[in-house]
Amino acid sequence: MAVDYRTHPHRRYNPLTEEWVLCSPQRTRRPWQGQVEETPPETRPAYDPHCYLCPGNERAGGVRNPDYTSTFVFDNDFPALLPGSGAEEDHGVDEGGLMVARPTTGRCRVICFSPRHDLSLPLLPVTAIREVVETWAHEVEELGARPEIGYVQIFDNKGEMMGCSNPHPHGQIWATRDLPTIPGRKLTSQRKYFASHGTDLLGDYLALELRLGERLVCANAHWAALVPFWAVWPFETLLVPRRPVGDLPSLLPEERDALAAIIKELTTRYDNLFRVSFPYSMGWHGKPTDGDPHPYWRLHAVYYPPLLRSATVRKFMVGYEMTAEPQRDITPEEAAARLREVPARHYREG
């Protein structure tokens, strides 16, 4: 007798990272007496004189921001990576493969999405989000053209629950000499799939999801947002272009317009789910900037929100997740259905 995957525990395979996730839908019935989070206040001023990201204010390093009116990019005052200084010529440490260290270099930048301190991405107009898309593409192109940069990682931590240190709408870029671990896994899996099938992994997966429809959240002429079959976080989503394109700079103008529109819709659906500014970590995975065309790589973005049952109950990655493998309770199909059911117009705008 076949297992009913809607109600019984099972494991799902992620072909992008070649990892498994345990899905336990029967656990949604368990009582909750764990930690209950406080929701941050919904109201903030349009300008905060004490915010180091607002226009005209002084940052911690003593540099004063310009009176910017759209997006604003600057080198991080407290970067995780430093530009090359000659130390990278050091061959590092290798004690028989048991203790291995290598010097690395890179650049870290901050992108302010808007001069408005009080607006997150879903509350910005599509035209303002389009400026963010343009800035992302420009930064990848400019940083990726540098010979010392092998990969450009764009990400956005939204909300205190995801470690965001400042509520002003912003994201980050870490451009690294070395290919990071997760993009490295995705490079290997996509390359292997292309070699054996002659088509790209995410393109075939997207075609399957569009045909089935049960995990689709929203879509337009150029993009689709869905809860992946192998999702780990409760309301995790994957944003994929319909056309095979490897990075943000390669997007056509109409694809950039459509990307801004679907980002607003997806993040609005997030906020509307629990009527709160929905926290998440989001990141773009484009092809490496090492000069190889990487024809098997399809650009995509991942959203990892921590909320589970409500605005105050979150998913914790502990215990089994830290010692064995990722685990989730609600099925990806249920998560997608709940996101589809909420309005596409933000609850604070209508």
* Closest among 204, 223, 228 to 339, alpha carbons compared: 228
The answer to whether residues 55 and 66 touch, using CB atoms and an 8 Å cutoff, is yes
- Considering 117, 168, 170, 222, which one is annotated as catalytic? 170
Environment class of 104 (CB within 10 Å of its CB; exposed 0-12, middle 13-18, buried 19+) = middle
Task: Look at the chain and count its residues.
Answer: 350
**170 is known as an active-site residue:** yes
Question: For residue 123, how many other CB atoms are within 10 A of its CB?
Answer: 19
DSSP state of 109: E
The answer to whether residues 108 and 80 touch, using CB atoms and an 8 Å cutoff, is yes
Q: Distance between CA atoms of 51 and 90, rounded to whole angstroms?
A: 40
Residue listed under structure tokens 């709940």: 338
Provide the token pair at 42. Answer: 């919904």
Helices and strands in the chain, H and E counts: 6, 16
Residue listed under structure tokens 């999405």: 113
Q: Which residues contact 277 (CB under 8 A, 6 or more apart)?
A: 40, 42, 120, 158, 159, 271
Active site residues per annotation: 170
